């Protein structure tokens, strides 16, 4: 018996995606379930990230910290980053269509491979300036910066701090404050 190829799998669009119940992502026309629900540790780390981003952006009129929201890249790709920063005017729609400047993904057993490979390449291709992959088990955050169209790892942070240059704003982020 042969393994099905990508063309054998069902191919979906945003029109299909909005009809689904539960939490899903649509990447290159393939459905990815966002289940089971995030663990307590995952949610607590996400809250610590959100809180620090919110405080860091208090004096920035250009950028906003957001929790999971649909980012519709095209008709075949809609993702929900765990935490993100968006700079510019927010759209009056159900989703973002412009590229966030900073994305945090918190690894779980169910999403680790997708976050490290598929989303890494997707965010790199779409021009996300900073991508942070947070590993709650090892208390390490891998920080990537987009340079000349490629991600370059700038730091493995556990207790370190970094300043993210968001263009019109800068945000100081202390990774020691996100762990449980």
Tens of pLDDT along 82-113?
999 999 998 888 899 999 999 999 999 889 99
Burial of 105: CB neighbours in 10 Å, binned 0-12, 13-18, 19+: buried
Among 70, 76, 121, 77, smallest CA distance to 100 is for 70
Q: What token pair was written down for 60?
A: 């920035």
**What is the assigned CATH class of domain 38-177?**
alpha beta
Q: Which two tokens stand for residue 48?
A: 């610590």
Can you tell me whether residue 17 is helix, strand or coil?
Answer: helix
Amino acid 165: pLDDT: 97
**Could you read off the pLDDT of 37-53 as tens digits, one per residue?**
788 999 999 999 999 99
Domain boundaries, the chain: 38-177
Q: What is the pTM assigned to this prediction?
A: 0.93
pLDDT at 33: 87
């Amino acid at each position: 018996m042969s393994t099905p190829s990508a063309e054998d799998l069902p191919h979906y669009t945003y029109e299909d995606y909005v009809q689904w119940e539960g939490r899903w992502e649509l990447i290159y026309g393939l459905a990815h379930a966002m289940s089971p629900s995030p663990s307590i540790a995952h949610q607590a780390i996400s809250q610590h990230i959100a809180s620090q981003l919110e405080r860091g952006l208090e004096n920035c009129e250009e950028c906003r910290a957001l929790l999971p929201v649909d980012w519709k890249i095209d008709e075949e790709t809609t993702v929900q980053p765990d935490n993100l920063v968006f700079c510019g005017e927010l759209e009056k729609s159900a989703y973002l269509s412009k590229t966030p400047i900073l994305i945090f993904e918190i690894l779980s057993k169910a999403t680790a491979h997708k976050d490290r490979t598929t989303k890494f390449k997707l965010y790199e291709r779409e021009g996300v300036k900073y991508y942070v992959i947070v590993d709650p088990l090892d208390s390490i955050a891998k920080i990537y910066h987009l340079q000349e169209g490629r991600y370059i790892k700038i730091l493995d942070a556990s207790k370190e701090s970094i300043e993210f240059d968001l263009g019109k704003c800068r945000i100081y982020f202390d990774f020691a404050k996100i762990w449980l």
